[in-house]
Structure 1
């Protein structure tokens, strides 16, 4: 390879007429690309790995390497701590409408953050995701972001009827507790604010995430992405030899959403038991490497016949737990010291947020 053609791999300002041979790709891969007519950056720019694979016949792992190599967001920027602190202060939160959960999460599901919900089946992971899709659409004075959401469903657990119940409850609460805002949300308007993708394998998940990046550029009201669940397509797919690369590329796309588009990402994960019988822990699936990607890990589990949410990983939060319960209205605080209806409990929280 001509050394004069080798460019700085950390330079983000690569021109479209720069040869692919200037990137840190193997000579055999460069040769395969050249044989198929892919010689310059412009030839592969904008292509997805699966599209490059379909056109060239090159294995998907190598196609992932090519696409990653030409991405312009590989720039290693030098930042000052003050700048990082100021950018962190621009994060917003989506209320869970559960006081205990909001408290241990520092206000709710944060933007610029990937929150992982782990837990056994039936513990309330999907329900909490559906509730977030509704609450993100409320104004900031009520714990929302006045935005919209995208729900990527990999297991077929998305329930339109359950979502309708939550929307109806929130609509009624807003109308009865905040008449001064002149808000008139309807069940139909709240359902319209949720964009739905049904994916059956990891390739479709990757394509959907890429699609969300495009949607967000067209519609900046999209502030929340939910993937329910991230584990299923990677645990039960046929692309065993390519899963590591696909998983890595998917997480890169998710990081782009939270870092560059100020979005909140919520992903659900399966759990497995780790321990020697005397000391047992619940841990998320997809291995140890995956555990580094989420910013916040929230494990939902049973404790003495009660549902409990525990923060087990968060650089800016203390490990803590909160009790909750599942009701027709969604996820609610576990009332212990006083007896009151779920409606009244949530009503008081909305009123408190309005007057704070």
Structure 2
């Protein structure tokens, strides 16, 4: 249960979220005096909040006790399901091969890199490609795009190119017959991208908490893109302990979303894609580029991809995956979107 459902004032609810208390479990170990001091409220108010939270946790346990037992499944069943989980193409064959066929649905994937490397371009590409119908090898879903400098004109260009690619694919499959007519128009693709803009880390946390309800009402949403997850957590944030707690709560929520809408709802799959910024850290006697928010955050994602420059060519490096070997592959950002590298050196390089 989330703190947003507690019967308290909006002001008090906002203070809880701003301080990192987004779920009832996050309030389990805090004392009334510490909560009162942190939220700048009276001890009586803090006591009432903790009392309501304790009652809510008790309801959650009583309502969900049977579900824990009924939800058990064997490792063999899990493996069988994973073999049929779809992937979202990046429109770059080399990059898809690196990722085992594309971005894995039902997992949290983090993608980071320096400015200008193509993070937002890739995010828009995935928001478009998630809508490719199953007949063309896609998942036929809709997209949620959070934050970032979403460029609707660029999305239109990529949508038009995607429809052209599907038309070419249809002709290829039906060489000796009349090809299928593509029913999708660029307008339809743009209508299926839900864009949310947030202006602070509190708004970002509130929106992440709201996604469960939104996706429940829009079960055809199959990708959530956060571009970027780090921006508001790196601006004037001096309390590192608070930042760590906020990020941990948010990461847990995103992981639960990815699992809930793939395993619990069998007809639906959801992938969460987080775009990150880079920073530097001193290691082995020199400064090296690394993704922001530190090592603790890196454990929050199932897959981690780092985009980087190799001379004048863009490369993607698969740094973390539970089932794939670390490797890198080139890609290009073109007027049609993400595509194979134009360089003659397209061989996937092992790191």
Q: TM-score, normalised by structure 1?
A: 0.74
The whole-number CA distance in structure 1 between the counterparts of 2:163 and 2:16 is 52
The reply on whether 1:164 has 2:156 as its aligned counterpart is: yes
1:309 aligns with 2:303: no
Equivalence for 1:91? 85
What SS class does the counterpart of residue 5 from structure 2 fall into? coil
How far 1:138 sits from its partner (Å)?
A: 0.7
Q: 2:146 aligns with which of 145, 152, 157?
A: 152
State the partner residue of 2:223.
224
Partner of 1:195: 194
Distance 1:210 1:81 in 2: 30
1:209 and 1:82 mapped to 2: Cα distance? 32
- Superimposed CA distance per residue, residues 294-345 of structure 1 (whole angstroms, 9 cap, x where no aligned partner): 111110000122111010100110111111111111111013449xxxxxxx
Instruction: Give the Cα–Cα distance (whole angstroms) in 2 for the partners of residues 55 and 203 of structure 1.
Output: 8
CA distance in 2, matches of 1:205, 1:140: 32
Question: Are 2:131 and 1:109 aligned?
Answer: no
Q: 1:137 and 2:135 equivalent?
A: no
Query: Does 1:80 pair with 2:74?
Result: yes
Q: Distance in 2 between matches of 1:334 and 1:173?
A: 17
Alignment RMSD: 3.3
Question: Aligned partners of 2:9, 2:198: CA distance in 1, in Å?
Answer: 15
Q: How does 1:1-356 map to 2 (within 5 A)?
A: 46-47=5-6, 51=10, 53-54=12-13, 60-61=19-20, 64-66=23-25, 79-153=73-147, 156-178=148-170, 180-237=179-236, 240=239, 242-262=242-262, 263-276=270-283, 281-337=288-344
Cα 1:250/1:213, change in 2 over 3 Å: same
Distance 1:159 1:144, change over 3 A: same
The equivalent of 1:27 in structure 2 is: none
Aligned match of 1:10? none
Provide the aligned length of Structure 1 versus Structure 2: 296
Q: Secondary structure at the match of 1:138?
A: coil
CA distance in 2, matches of 1:207, 1:83: 35
Check the 8 A contact 1:50/1:63 in 2, yes or no: no
Structure 2 gaps, min length 5? 29-63, 172-178, 263-269, 346-351
Report the Cα offset of residue 275 of structure 1.
3.9
Q: Secondary structure at the match of 2:13?
A: helix
- Return closer, same or farther for 1:56/1:316 CA change in 2, 3 Å cut-off: closer
Counterpart contact for 2:90–2:126, Cα < 8 Å: yes
Are residues 81 and 265 of structure 1, via their aligned partners in 2, closer, same or farther at CA, if it must alter by over 3 Å? same
TM-score by length of 2: 0.75
